[in-house]
Every structure is written in C-alpha cells, then in structure tokens.
Structure 1
Amino acid sequence: MSRLPASVKSRRYDVRGRRAAALRRREGILAAGRELMLRDGYAATTVASIAAAAAVSTETVYKAFGGKPGIVRALFRQALDGAGPESAVARSDRLREGATGHALVAGWAELAREVAPRGAPLALLLRDAAGHDPKARSVLDEIERTRLLRMRDNARALVATGDVRPDLSLRDVTDVLFAVSSAELYELLVIRRGWSSRRFARFQRETMAGALLVQETADPAGQSPTTPRQTERAPREGL
C-alpha cells in the first residue's frame, strides 16, 4: 500500500486547519454580534464594533455575512437548531411520525423551551429596529413568512392525526400555532412577567390542546385517556 508524500499530508492538514479557523472566526462573529446587539440595540451596534469584539477585520465580517442583517439571519438559523445534537426542526419533523394530536403539541411545546429563548429576543430586536431600518424590516418579514409556512405545515400534520376539533379549518389551526409561537407572547409572559421556560412551555401546550384538539376522555377500563378520532373528516383548508 503506497503512502502519501509528506507534502500532500501537509496540504490536507493545512486545509483542515484553515477550515477550522474559519469556523471559529464565524462563531466568534456570531457570538459577538448577538451579545452586542441584544445589549446595545440593533442601530447602535456597528459592523466595526462586532469585528473588534470578535478580533477580526470588518472585511472578514462583510465577507462572511454581508453585514448586520446577514448576522441576524444566521443567528436566527442557529436558534432554530435548539440545544441538542440534532436540530430542533429535524426533531419536530420526527414528532409527526404516528403521533397523536396531544403528543404533537406536547412535543412542540418542549422544543420551544430550547428555541424560544434563543430566537424570540432576535425577532424582538428586529421588530424594534424595523420602523427605521428597511433591511431589518426585510429580515423580520422573511423570518415571519418562514415561521408562518412552518406553522401551516405543523397544522396539516396536526389535522392529519384526526384529533383536531371538527369545527376548525386549516387556517384556524395555523393561526393558533402562529400566535402561540410568536416572539410577542414570549415577550409578554417570559420577559415582562418573569415566567420560567418550563411554565411557558406548559402554557403553550395547554393553549394549543385546549383551543385545537378534541379533549381526551377517560377510558372506562381505567387505562390511559383516549381521544375520539375524527378519521373520516377532511380538513377545511380555509386559506
């Protein structure tokens, strides 16, 4: 078996080293951007101040993200990953596999405990800047459009369980999920009223279940609660 020349091995290590260094710089820029913008505000934070805090040049920041809007966009994508080794979005998708409606909303509320503390402050930051910064408004609109589409997909998955109240349209379900997952609700209950993330997740779960699902009934044999299934009902799109 032939061995690679030392020069080839050296080049491979150089490439890996450069990639690792670039990743560290990128993570440093994101961490500095998040800290400064949440502390000082979007408008008061400059690319130069982010670069200084991350110990890189302003050119490096612009090359990596294109400016502050790109940094916030990347931070929001990072927030959607949650805290686990697998992204929260991927875990949310897996929840749909054979789950009941009540299991789905419970799983979504638990995932929100990871995502909301990371993502909601960024959405609120953009909301406060959007009135005087068109680029911030554009990023916020993009984030909200993406969230609405995600909630519509979740609504379809919830309806497919057969556990959604028969008087609700797909649009009704989407709107409730959109409201419950909003940064404004997080701001009201967690930031202003001081709720814990656990209490907030419980409120989300109970609100979604109470507003959207056929209520569970006790099994007469003393087993676990069951939910009347609406298997023959086709969802009303209403969109």
Structure 2
Amino acid sequence: MGAEPGRRRYDSLRRTTQAQETRAEIARAARRLFVSRGWAATTVRDVAREAGVSAPTVYAAYGNKAGLTRALADAADLSADASRMLAELEAPGTDPERQLAAMAAYDRRLFERAGDVITLVREAGRTEPELAAAYRDGRRRGDETRVRVFSSWPDGVLRSGLDVRSAVDVYAAVCNIDVYTTLTVERGWSPERVERWWSGVLARELLA
C-alpha cells in the first residue's frame, strides 16, 4: 500500500519528462524541415512525421505552425545566453568599450547558434503577421537593451554628434544577421573574427 503513492508520483514525473522530450523532438524536427525545405513548404503533418508523432500531438504541443515557429524564436534567444551578457554588462569596473564587446559577443552567439531560425522567422513573417510580430519583438528587445546601456553612460562617452537613438541605429547597421551571414558564409570569416571586428568597429564608431 505504501509504495502506491510513490509510484503515482514518479508516474507523473515520467509523463512530464516524456511530454518535454516530445516537445523538444518536435521543435528539432521543425527546425530541420523549416531550414531545409522552407517554412511555407513545410506542413504540420510533415513535422509530425519527421518527429515520429501524430499531427494532433504537434497541435496540442504548439497550437499551430506559427506557434511552433514562435517557440523556436524564443528558444533562439535562450541559446545565446542573455544572462552571461547581463553579467558582463554589470561586472565591476566594466567600461563602455567592454560593454560593447559583451553585446557583440551575445549577437555572435545568437547568430552562430540560431541564425537559421532568425532568418526563417523573418522570411515567414512576410506572409504570417504573427511571425512578423515575433521578428519585430526580437529586434525591439535588442534595441531596448542598447538604449538602456547607452543611456547609462556619462556625457561625453558617445562620439560628438551622436545621441542615444542614433548610436542604437549604428549598432543595428553593424551587428545584424545579414552582415554575419555575408562574412561567415560568403567571405569565410570565423564567428570569432566577426565578433572581434564588430567590437572594434563599434568602439570606433560610437565612442569619443
């Protein structure tokens, strides 16, 4: 009799773990297909078949294809380790140049680990308003982080003639998925080289 509650408790844990593993496998399958076939050409049934589950299981886990893609976008942000960037931004004795380097390092990790997801969300957003909003939200969160960091600097740190909003614009023009892709795919740069170049360019363009 005494073992029954324990078995039930572990059965519940087992079901939760299995559900999490199923969600993760669905997400991995969707990412593979979205990247290889394109978002529009991939159906929920395709994702289910690739993941080895039923289509209703995919719908139950993510709602629809747009919901699944939005979940991939959220996971992309987590993969870049935002908490590491925050720790580097707030580290004792840090200065604006090192803060710029921390933000460039975060963007490098984001594009290196999830650039394919960012690109597919942007492309799918051309026909799916929900995904267009997801892409804009990601860009907005990045801008908000930079506004907070740049606004914390004393007067005279930014180059003459630059205000915070203009500095954010310059950052966005330098550190973005298109520049990263051009340098790594077309020009053969390593991600580390891109990160170093970004850090140097940002310091030269933004700091007095």
Question: Counterpart in 1 of 2:83?
Answer: 90
Q: Report the residue type matching 2:133 in the other structure.
A: S
Q: Report the residue type matching 2:167 in the other structure.
A: V
Q: Any idea what SS the aligned residue of 1:10 has? A: helix
Q: Report the residue type matching 1:210 in the other structure.
A: R
Q: Distance in 1 between matches of 2:182 and 2:13?
A: 45
Q: Is the 8 A contact 1:155 1:177 kept in 2?
A: no
Question: Counterpart in 2 of 1:192?
Answer: 186
Q: Given the two structures, how large is their TM-score scaled by the length of structure 2?
A: 0.87
Q: Given the two structures, how large is their TM-score scaled by the length of structure 1?
A: 0.77
Q: Distance in 1 between matches of 2:142 and 2:28?
A: 23
Question: Counterpart in 1 of 2:207?
Answer: 213
Q: Is the 8 A contact 2:25 2:51 kept in 1?
A: yes
Q: Report the residue type matching 1:213 in the other structure.
A: L
Question: Counterpart in 2 of 1:128?
Answer: 123
Shift of 1:203: 1.6
Q: Are residue 104 (structure 1) and residue 99 (structure 2) matched?
A: yes
* Aligned CA-pair RMSD: 2.2
CA separation of 1:106 and 1:138: change in aligned 2, threshold 3 A: closer
Q: How do 1:1-239 residues align onto structure 2 when only pairs under 5 Å count?
A: 5-82=2-79, 88-97=81-90, 98=92, 99-157=94-152, 159=153, 163-214=157-208
Q: Any idea what SS the aligned residue of 2:6 has? A: helix
Q: Is the 8 A contact 2:171 2:202 kept in 1?
A: yes
Give percent identity, aligned residues only.
Answer: 31
Q: Is the 8 A contact 1:28 1:54 kept in 2?
A: yes
Q: Is the 8 A contact 2:76 2:117 kept in 1?
A: no
Q: Report the residue type matching 1:190 in the other structure.
A: T
Contiguous gaps of at least 5 residues in structure 1: 215-239
Contiguous gaps of at least 5 residues in structure 2: none
